[in-house]
A and B are shown apart, each in its own frame.
Chain A
Amino acid sequence: MSNQRQASSASQTPHLSPAELSYLYTSLSLPKSPIRPDGRSPTQFRPLTAESNILPGTNGSARIGFADGTQAIVGVKAEVEKTVLSTDTLASGEGGESTAATSGHGSWVQMSIEIPGFRDDDALPVFLSEMMRESLVGAVVEGGDGGGDVMMAGGLKGRLVINKRWHWRLYIDVLLLSQPLSYPLPLLSLTTHLALLSTKLPKLKSQGEEDPFFDDDWEVAEYLYPRGSKLKATSGLASQYVRPPVTLLVVSVGENVIFDPSREEIAVADAVLAISVTRDTEAGNLKLLSIRTIDPPSRLTQPAVPNSENVNMLGATAPTEDIAVLNPATGEEEVPGVWRPRRGGVKRSVIANMIKTVLKKGGVGEEVLEGLEGVEVE
């Protein structure tokens, strides 16, 4: 049992027959125009409902529900904590450079993911939370020259610094409400993004190196991620503001790149990548924060038997029907229509193509970020 859980992707494998797998693969790998089981275009996301600020007891929260019934709730809580002054910080403080004042520490952001049916030390929740946390704390903004972004210098970690001796500690708790029907990464990432966008921290009343005390008026609390007025946001200046990263799940099937794959689509994918992007405040386009490969479940599937090797079909078919052809995507010889579990890795060109599709201007990444921004404005 634990053996199966160990495999991050194995638990997601639906029980599809080799014939079904082969059919899915063939229709998804049609050059230029893949046919997805639910009729979406390759870059189209599944319909979802989203709302934010649903939990009054948190600093920020969000809920997203996919049409298939899976829902995730994220609550963000912030606590004031004393910064442990190490010898290192002391040393740099004496040097006159107040580096510690602007740079925070990655461990100040804590993330936990709860998925029903998984223990919280199982591989999948650990892998998911590490993946989302690393892009979150990794997003660093150079300087403070992006209009009104002085607060976000040093990224999220820098934002958590109150003064030299105090900082915020951020707890991001992700709750999946039902057993995941597909790889839960896109759902969790979108919900986390939305919750962080809605997160507010109380306004600081103390100054400088004083022990911090805060305005208890929640109305004047400041957003964790500073934001412009509605007017600005709609007029396209929203790109000026730092935004939390979003992690997209991208699969490649044959020559096609497909976004937000369903469980059946992941099951036949040649490669699965989780790509985290955020908006580059200087250039105004998207920038890459992290990539991780995810073990494609297609490696664990059951192979099909071609007619030529099937004892039951002996003599029933002409031998010419089973001619192995070279699959250009995998380099393996395959009989068309006969499923073979994938083996081997991905070519560099495929990876480059997947990244390009995410990052390109007006591409899927921007579309998703804009869509999430829209939820907040209303």
Chain B
Amino acid sequence: MATSIPSLAIPGQRLGSANTYAAGPGTHVQQANIFASIAGPVILDPAQPNTQSKATLRVSRVLSAAAQSSPTTASAKSKPRYNTLPAVDSIVLARVTRVQKRQAAVSILVVLDETSAPDADLAKASSDNDNIASILTSAANPENHSSTDELRFQAIIRKEDVRAVEKDRVVMEDMFRVGDIVRGCVLSLGDQTSYYLTTARNDLGVVMARSETGNMIIPLPIASMASGQYALPSDWLEHEDALGSSELHADSSRAATAVALAPNILSVV
């Protein structure tokens, strides 16, 4: 049965009968047959043992061999993803473009793949934007700020969605500054222009920032990041180019949204 399934598919190629399999992402059903709708490797997700569902045929967008060989356990519990657009509950990295009293406007840089667990190596997190490290560095560079915003999806973080506690005392200017990189979760597809993001979770918040003088701020100490703890306000230090006479960050309250993230993100800067 499984032998008749081709390993690679191109759009319009017949993959199997809809009576035998269920159609997953990257496929469509026509006249009771499952056809591929994108080009990519065909993956057969076995049926859930305790249900009566059929095995799911899907075509993967991911072309790297590593991502395919590892069985995607997460796909079973999450909804199937038909596209690479931000969807409700996707984790995104976004750059702050405007800070207002009631909300902050951000532009989404990367949609992180849900199938990779949050603690997994982020560099492997795959999306259409293959090189996260280079995207982040270029986005953090103030010179690139204006050019590509038209091509990115815009989102809004409302004041109420910044943190889970003390919502009424949030001061947006202290939370975000233009150019900060934020890790957020999509609340809703929003209106015709913007998505809505939230940072009110432990693993969400500002992950990369520059001080007023333009120097990179890095969370300290490294050990606390690696163990996944929160960065305390005093942990955000300004990183001087030269020998690094480190000084405390001026806005200590900004760190309330700051989150220590996997070190490999920060190591690229």
Contact = CB atoms under 8 A, between A and B. Distances in A.
A4 to B, nearest CB: 12
**Prevailing SS type, chain A contact patch:** loop
Nearest to B30: A331
B222 to A, nearest CB: 45
A326 B30 CA distance: 9
A333 interface: yes
B32 interface: yes
A332 interface: yes
B31 interface: yes
Contacts, number: 8
Nearest to A333: B29
Contacts of A344: 30
How many interface residues does chain A have, given as a range? Answer: under 10
A331 B29 CA distance: 10
A84 B31 CA distance: 58
Interface string A330-341: 011100000000
B32 to A, nearest CB: 7
A344 B30 CA distance: 10
A326 B32 CA distance: 9
A90 B32 CA distance: 64
Contacts of B29: 333
Contacts of A326: 31-32
A344 B12 CA distance: 11
Interface in A302-332: 326, 331-332
Nearest to B28: A343
Interface string B168-202: 00000000000000000000000000000000000
A332 B29 CA distance: 8
A326 B31 CA distance: 7
Interface string B71-100: 000000000000000000000000000000
Interface in B27-80: 29-32
Contacts of B31: 326, 331
A331 B18 CA distance: 14
A332 B30 CA distance: 6
Contacts of A333: 29, 32
A274 B30 CA distance: 28
Nearest to B31: A331
Interface string B14-33: 00000000000000011110
A232 B29 CA distance: 59
A331 B28 CA distance: 12
A184 B30 CA distance: 34
B206 to A, nearest CB: 34
Nearest to A324: B29
Nearest to A332: B30
A344 B29 CA distance: 12
B183 to A, nearest CB: 29
Interface in A330-359: 331-333, 344
B136 to A, nearest CB: 30
Contacts of A332: 30
Interface in A8-34: none
Nearest to A330: B30
A332 to B, nearest CB: 7
A156 B27 CA distance: 51
Interface in A47-99: none
Contacts of B32: 326, 333
A39 to B, nearest CB: 35
Nearest to A331: B31
A152 B32 CA distance: 55
6 closest A-B pairs by beta carbon, nearest first, are: A331-B31, A331-B30, A333-B29, A332-B30, A326-B31, A333-B32
Interface of A: 326, 331-333, 344
8 contacts: A326-B31, A326-B32, A331-B30, A331-B31, A332-B30, A333-B29, A333-B32, A344-B30
Given A331-B31, A344-B30, 5 more contacts: A326-B32, A331-B30, A332-B30, A333-B29, A333-B32
